[in-house]
Structures are given as structure tokens and as C-alpha cells.
């Protein structure tokens, strides 16, 4: 890949991943409400995969760049030679100039971008190294659990997980005094869960992506949303199958650990950036396996579609490079001119021949003129092509929409095969049984007939209505339990003297907002 091609691919990857980040920011909330926080967290793999996606192979580019609607389009080819003596020195000169400037422009942009990305990564790595030294300098070992070292450190403001090769979970020195046994067990499970899920590795990958987008405000917003979805997904993992009492205990642990400030590569239980969303998530019921499977299928479909539409080599990616090149004044799709062919060796001297009358200069005939009319192609070659083309060239009629310029013979697409006959459809009451199918196909003498069972559809609708009533009753009961948990959590927070007044006020404001929203949902449910 040339320097210009590499620059075009990098620009396409950065812009396409930005568009996919914006798409995930729009979809994360409705996907979380419908399928759960684990499915919403999986959406963030889409922009990462796009960044590492190589360009499409040359064989697939033509198929990706050609719309399906043009597969059966008939093209009429009309070959017209340029006027004698005409040349394009200006165009050749402009192409040479752009080709000579492309390496310098690409190198300058690459150096500026690389300096910013390298500076970003070095700063975060140095900050994380200082954080680890501060944690481990005066740490006291507590236990070794599931391959994770649990330590107590005065530098830990709250429960947190850090380290990739050497995995740690750190707690403050007063952890056993401020938290009861159940709260300590749930907090420890939360932090060990970050290691088991690979969240620490995911944080470094996200930082690398953010380094590539260090100039992009959309990427900074996406990074904060990614960390919030990561915590929500881990909360859902910890609380899977637990009772309402455990959820209340977990909410108390989150509120006791509420504290500002965090290190980007570590996972913190105590951040208050999305405290309201985490407390509200604790009041939702877990999703069924069928719902999670549907969410996984949705994420897979979005990834395949998003990567297919934005891959380098498609028409969409080419449009991106064209627009960016027009904005900066550089044609990123330009192909460097081929090197000139070496001069031919001098021919061997021939024996002198008798003088002869020089032949008249032959007229250069056009290669071929092909006319496609009503699906039939007629070709003219040599003098016949000239005889046909010259009268038309004098009149210069306006070209029809299907007219295109080419230097080779036209390829006429074969006619499309006839469509199969449409099946007949009828509706009636079907017999009981049949595995509950609402439609089936049967073969008759006059063809295949699709039968729609009206009585089975009505029975399914009645069953769904009864299930909806039961689900509404369960939802109202769950909301009442959640409201009790929120009120108890607020009382515990108000009585917590270990928090500063400012942190307590912010946390109370967050939980009051959650209580108001829960009350509004309970009224709408009634």
C-alpha cells in the first residue's frame, strides 16, 4: 500500500469508527432497557473492530461498490475519438503535481497525529505507574482469592481493581469498619468480577482507541459512556439471581464508596459519575435467556452490517475519502502515474531498398461502435464505425441516461430469469394441534397454497393478553419492592457520618431523582 493509500485508509477508519461511536451512543440506552446492560456493553466492540478492519480485497471491492439495483442495467457504448491534435497537458501536469504532494502531506499529517497519540499514551501509562506505586508502597496483604491479590492500602479511597499481568483488588484501611460482612462480600465480588470479565484489558484497549482519536470530542464522550456501561454490566453480573435484600445491601455498598476521581486504566466501585443510573439499574428485574439471546443476535447483526457498510473499499468509504480530500484540497483516491517505459533499442540497419512511392497515410479507424437497442446489440468496426459515427458526431444529440463512454466492447447482461408464480393464500379455522403453527403450506392440484389459521392466531392473542396481565402485576410488585429499597438506602445514606457533607448532598440528590422517577413509573403503571 502506498503512502497515499495508507493515509486514505487511516482517514476512512477514523471517520468510520467515529460514526459507529455516535451510533452506539444513540443505541446504548434503548438496548440496555430492552436487553440488559451486558448487551449494551457489547456494542462498544463495533468501533474497535472497525479500526482494525483491513481494506477489502480487490476482488470484493467491485462487488461492494456496485449497487444491486444496477446488476441488470443495459449499457449502450458509443466510442468517439478525440479531435485530431487534441491533448491534455494541463490534466497530466495537475495529476503529477498532486501525486508529488501526496507523500509530503500524508507524512505531515501522520507525524502530527502520531505525536498526539504517543503523548496521550505515555501520559496515561506514567500516571498509571505512579498510581500502582502509591497503592503498593504501604499496602498490607489480606488474602489471595481466585488468582487475585486482595490488599488494604491507605491510598485507596474505595474498593477498586487494577493490574493486568499482576491482578490486584485494593480496599481502604477502614474497609472492615465502614462496611458490614454482606457489603464487603458483594464489593469484593464486584472487583474480582472486573478481572474475570477482562475489563482491565478492555480499559487499555479503549485508551488505545482514545489515543488514536485524541483530537475527537465524540471519542471522549464515547469513552466515558463505555466506562459507565462497563460498571452497569458488572453490577448485573454480580446481582444475577440474588434477592431484593442483596440488591439493597449492594446499593448501600455503592453509596458508602461514593467518591470522585478515578484512574482510566483501573476499575472503581466508588465513582459517582453515573451513580443515578447504577442505583436505578438495581431496581430492574433480570432479563430472561431468550431476551439475552435476542440481544446477542441484534448486536451481531449490527456489527456485521456496520462493518460491511463502512469497510475500506466500499462506496461509502470512498465517499468519505473524497469529501475529506476535497476539504483539505488533496485527492486521496488519486493513483500515482506509472513510470515511463524505457526507450526501445535502435533497430538493426536494413539493406537499402529500391525507392518506392510512399503510401498515403491511412485514416485511423475507431475501434468499435456498439449500439444496444431493445436488448439487441449491433456492432460496427473500422470504416463502418466511422461511417456510422461521423454523421451523429456532427449533430451531437443529447446523450440518453444510459449512454456511457468506454474504449472497449459493451457487455450485454443476460435477461433476468422469470419469477416463480406467487403462492395462493387463504385463511380458515384449522384443527387443534399442529404444534400451534399459525400458518402452513399445502400442495394442491392448482399449485401451492399457504393457509393462515385464524382460530390459532386468536388463541395465541388471548394467551398473550393473559400473560401481559400477569407481567403487569409482577412489575407493580417489583416496583413497590424497589421503592422500599430506595427509601431504605436514602435513610442509610443520610445517616452516614463517614461521608463529607458535599458528597452526601450529591448522593442524596441522585437518589432523590431516582425515587421521583420510580414514583412516576409507578403512577404510569397504574
**Within-domain flag for 498:** yes
Query: What is the pLDDT averaged over residues 187-198?
Result: 92
pLDDT of 234 higher than 50: yes
**Sequence-separated (6 or more) residues with CB below 8 Å from residue 22:** 218, 222
Contact yes or no for 167/148 (Cβ under 8 A) = yes
Higher pLDDT, 373 or 338: 373
Sign of CA dihedral 512, 514, 520, 522: negative
pLDDT computed for residue 338 by the predictor = 46
Beta pairing class for 168-171 and 148-152: parallel
User: Rounded mean pLDDT of 495-523?
Assistant: 79
* pLDDT, position 196: 93
Residues 6+ apart with CB under 8 A from 447: 421, 423, 424
pLDDT tens for 374-385 read 556 677 776 666
121: cell is 499514551
- What residue numbers bound the domain in which 463 lies? 420-526
pLDDT of residue 286: 66
Question: Does residue 276 have a pLDDT over 70?
Answer: no
263 has a pLDDT exceeding 70: no
Lowest mean pLDDT among 125-134, 199-208, 237-246: 237-246
Is residue 475, in this structure, part of any structural domain at all? Answer: yes
Read off the pLDDT of residues 236-253 as tens digits, 9 standing for 90 and up: 888 888 888 888 888 888
Reply yes or no on whether the pLDDT at 339 is more than 60.
no
Collapsed DSSP state (helix, strand, coil) of residue 413: coil
pLDDT at 403: 46
- 282 touches 250 (CB < 8 A): yes
Mean pLDDT calculated for residue range 398-416: 52
pLDDT(205) > 50: yes
Q: How confident is the model at residue 129 (pLDDT cuts 50, 70, 90)?
A: very high
* pLDDT for residue 208: 94
Q: Which of 92-101, 155-164, 345-354, 453-462 bottoms out in mean pLDDT, i.e. has the lowest? A: 345-354
C-alpha–C-alpha distance, residues 468 and 473, integer Å? 9
Phi, then psi, of 329 in degrees rounded to 5: 80, 25
Is 27 within a domain? Answer: no
Classified as helix, coil or strand, 82 is coil
In a domain, residue 446? The reply is yes
Taking only the tens place, the pLDDT of each residue in 15-33 is 999 999 999 999 999 998 8
Query: Grid cell 407481567 — which residue?
Result: 471
**Contact call for residues 386 and 366 (beta carbons, < 8 A):** yes
CA distance 225 to 108: 32
- 439-444: strand order across its sheet: 424-428, 447-453, 439-444
In this predicted model, which residue has the larger pLDDT, 463 or 320? Answer: 463
Assess if residue 287 is contained within a domain.
no
At residue 1, does pLDDT exceed 80? no
Q: Which residue has the higher pLDDT, 268 or 339?
A: 268
Ranking 66-75, 300-309, 481-490 by mean pLDDT, the lowest is 66-75
Counting the structural domains of the chain, the total is 1
Helix/strand/coil for 35: helix
What was the pLDDT predicted at 345?
56
Three cell numbers at 278?
447504577
Top-confidence residue, 361 or 517: 517
**Closest by CA position to 436, among listed 423, 464, 455:** 455
pLDDT tier for residue 151 given thresholds of 50, 70 and 90: very high
- pLDDT at residue 152 above 80? yes
Q: Does residue 466 lie within any of the structural domains?
A: yes
Looking at per-residue confidence, does 433 or 233 come out higher? 233
The answer to whether residue 335 scores a pLDDT higher than 50 is no
Residue 44 confidence (pLDDT) above 70: yes
CB burial class (10 A; 0-12, 13-18, 19+) of residue 275?
A: buried
Tell me: pLDDT of 54 over 70: yes
Is 163 within a domain? no
Residue of 31 and 68 predicted with greater confidence: 31
490: in domain:
yes
Distance of CA 88 to the CA centre of its chain: 44
Whether pLDDT at 365 is above 60: no
In 10 A of CB 422, how many CB atoms?
9
* Consecutive H or E run containing 243: none
Amino acid at each position: 500500500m502506498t503512502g497515499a493509500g495508507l493515509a486514505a485508509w487511516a482517514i476512512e477508519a477514523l471517520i468510520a469508527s467515529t460514526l459507529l461511536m455516535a451510533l452506539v451512543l444513540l443505541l446504548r440506552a434503548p438496548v440496555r432497557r430492552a436487553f440488559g446492560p451486558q448487551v449494551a456493553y457489547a456494542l462498544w466492540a463495533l468501533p474497535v473492530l472497525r479500526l482494525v478492519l483491513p481494506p477489502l480485497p480487490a476482488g470484493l471491492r467491485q462487488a461492494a461498490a456496485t449497487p444491486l439495483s444496477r446488476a441488470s442495467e443495459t449499457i449502450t457504448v458509443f466510442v468517439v475519438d478525440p479531435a485530431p491534435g487534441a491533448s491534455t497537458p494541463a490534466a497530466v501536469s495537475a495529476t503529477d503535481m498532486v501525486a508529488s504532494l501526496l507523500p509530503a502531506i500524508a507524512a505531515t499529517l501522520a507525524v502530527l497525529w502520531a505525536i498526539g497519540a504517543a503523548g496521550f499514551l505515555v501520559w496515561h501509562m506514567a500516571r498509571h505507574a505512579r498510581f500502582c506505586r502509591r497503592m503498593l508502597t504501604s499496602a498490607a496483604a489480606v488474602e489471595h482469592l481466585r488468582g487475585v491479590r486482595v490488599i488494604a492500602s491507605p491510598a485507596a479511597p474505595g474498593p477498586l481493581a487494577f493490574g493486568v499481568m499482576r491482578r490486584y483488588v485494593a480496599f481502604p484501611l477502614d474497609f472492615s469498619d465502614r462496611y458490614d460482612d454482606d457489603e464487603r462480600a458483594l464489593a469484593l465480588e464486584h472487583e474480582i468480577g472486573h478481572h474475570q470479565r477482562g475489563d482491565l484489558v478492555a480499559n487499555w484497549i479503549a485508551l488505545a482507541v482514545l489515543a488514536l482519536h485524541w483530537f475527537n470530542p465524540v471519542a471522549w464522550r464515547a469513552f466515558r459512556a463505555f466506562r459507565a456501561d462497563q460498571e452497569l454490566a458488572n453490577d448485573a453480573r454480580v446481582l444475577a439471581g440474588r434477592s431484593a435484600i442483596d440488591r439493597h445491601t449492594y446499593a448501600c455498598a455503592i453509596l458508602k464508596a461514593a467518591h470522585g476521581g478515578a484512574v482510566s486504566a483501573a476499575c472503581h466501585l466508588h465513582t459517582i459519575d453515573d451513580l443515578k443510573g447504577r442505583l436505578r439499574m438495581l431496581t430492574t428485574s433480570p432479563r430472561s435467556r431468550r431476551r439475552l439471546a435476542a440481544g446477542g443476535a441484534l448486536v451481531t447483526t449490527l456489527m456485521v452490517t456496520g462493518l460491511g457498510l463502512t469497510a475500506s473499499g466500499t462506496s461509502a468509504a470512498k465517499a468519505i475519502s473524497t469529501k475529506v480530500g476535497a476539504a483539505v484540497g488533496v485527492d486521496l483516491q488519486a493513483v500515482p502515474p506509472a513510470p515511463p517505459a524505457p526507450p526501445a533499442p535502435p533497430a538493426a540497419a536494413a539493406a537499402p531498398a529500391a525507392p518506392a512511392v510512399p503510401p498515403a497515410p491511412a485514416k485511423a479507424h475507431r475501434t468499435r461502435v456498439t449500439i444496444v437497442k431493445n436488448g439487441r446489440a449491433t456492432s460496427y468496426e473500422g470504416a463502418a464505425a466511422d461511417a456510422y459515427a461521423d454523421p451523429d458526431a456532427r449533430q451531437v444529440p443529447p446523450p440518453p441516461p444510459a449512454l456511457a463512454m468506454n474504449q472497449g466492447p459493451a457487455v450485454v447482461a443476460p435477461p433476468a430469469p422469470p419469477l416463480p408464480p406467487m403462492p395462493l393464500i387463504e385463511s380458515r379455522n384449522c384443527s387443534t394441534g399442529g404444534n400451534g403453527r399459525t400458518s402452513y403450506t399445502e400442495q394442491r392440484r392448482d399449485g401451492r397454497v399457504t393457509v393462515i389459521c385464524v382460530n390459532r392466531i386468536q388463541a395465541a392473542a388471548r394467551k398473550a393478553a393473559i400473560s401481559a396481565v400477569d407481567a403487569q402485576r409482577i412489575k407493580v410488585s417489583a416496583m413497590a419492592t424497589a421503592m422500599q429499597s430506595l427509601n431504605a438506602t436514602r435513610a442509610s445514606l443520610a445517616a452516614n457520618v463517614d461521608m463529607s457533607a458535599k458528597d452526601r448532598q450529591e448522593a442524596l440528590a441522585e437518589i432523590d431523582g431516582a425515587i421521583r422517577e420510580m414514583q412516576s413509573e409507578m403512577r404510569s403503571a397504574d
